[in-house]
Amino acid sequence: MQIQWYPGHMTKTKRMLTAQLGVVDVVIELLDARLPLSSKNPDIDELAASKQRLLVLNKADLADKAVSAQWEAYFRRLGFFTLSLDSTQRTAVKPLAERVREIMQPKVERMRTRGRVNAPIRAMIVGIPNVGKSTFINQLAGKASAATADRPGVTRGRQWIKVRDISSKGGTETSDFDMMDTPGVLWPKFEDEQVGIKLAISGAVSDLILDRITLAENLIKILLEIKPVAIVARYKVSTDINGIEKIPRQILEEIGSLRGFKMKGGVVDLERAAITLLDEYRGGKLGRISLERPE
């Protein structure tokens, strides 16, 4: 199942990122905590090699907590700063702001010795489509500054956001911490087919270009390997027949049948079953599931 999705605006975004990196101090890359490696854009490593880097494992509430801790340790060994959070929660603001200030403390001290006491910290937010950047930005700003939607490709232009002053009750704007929001961007070619499949499962790739039935079957295949109980508990299906494991298509048909997704003649509507499975996985209704672990 070869998956490639690289709209024209992503090429423009990459050029914009390159042009704007000179004015930022730290690059914050949002990853999907359920698939941190697959959701990490390799192009960012090259573009931002000279900058301080903070990897934020977003949607941590949807991932296995123990596995996320393993991923944080993995990335720290590679020299990155890390943080796991759920950007839908207002409590995400304080640990993020504190971590950025911690990262930038040496530079802030150097600037103070030169007389630049109130120079702002500037951070660039990057990440793949649908990783939650706009929700993240809105929490930091304390208001709806960025458009959000449960589909990739909503943000199309850069914008500067002032982060709320975390030391003030209720939150006010402060001039010492600015963030640049950027559109979600992938890379032109997924060398590993499984990376493309996982990104599509997470919603980073537009559903309009995919065979959703095949994609749902791939999700079932992964879940059977890492957490079959998630399917059984949610859909009340069996994963085997007389000790022989069912294939993903059989399980998808059973999900559709039990949900009452029938077409003319009683045929199971597999498309509707596939959409339901993908939506419920993305919404966390199957539980906290990490699709990959660090080796």
Please state the three-class secondary structure of 110-131 as a single string.
HHHHCCCCCCCEEEEEEECCCC
**What is the DSSP secondary-structure string of 156-210?**
-S-EEEEEEETTSTT-EEEEEEEEEE------S--SSHHHHHHHHHHTSS-GGGS
> What's the number of CA atoms in the CB half-sphere (13 Å) around residue 148?
14
* Six-digit token string for 108: 């802030």
According to the model, what pLDDT value does residue 273 have? 97
According to the model, what pLDDT value does residue 146 have? 46
pLDDT at 157 > cutoff 70: no
Cα(241)–Cα(147) distance, integer angstroms: 47
pLDDT at 6 > cutoff 70: no
pLDDT at 43 > cutoff 60: yes
Give the mean pLDDT of the chain. 84
- pTM for this model (two decimals): 0.83
List the one residue out of 231, 232, 120 whose CA is nearest residue 180: 120
Residue-wise pLDDT tens digits, 164-205: 554 444 444 444 678 888 888 877 677 788 888 999 999 988
* Six-digit token string for 1: 């199942």
Cα(137)–Cα(270) distance, integer angstroms: 37
Give the rounded percent of residues in the chain with a pLDDT score beyond 70. 85
User: ∠32-33-34 over CA atoms, to 5°?
Assistant: 90
According to the model, what pLDDT value does residue 153 have? 43
Contact in structure between 30 and 40 (CB atoms under 8 Å): no
Residue-wise pLDDT tens digits, 106-152: 877 887 787 776 677 888 899 888 898 888 888 877 754 544 444 44
Cα(85)–Cα(60) distance, integer angstroms: 5
Helix and strand numbers, DSSP H then E, in the chain: 10, 8
At 241, the pLDDT band (50, 70, 90 cuts) reads confident
Span 212-219, average pLDDT: 95
Residue-wise pLDDT tens digits, 74-106: 999 999 999 999 988 888 778 888 888 888 888
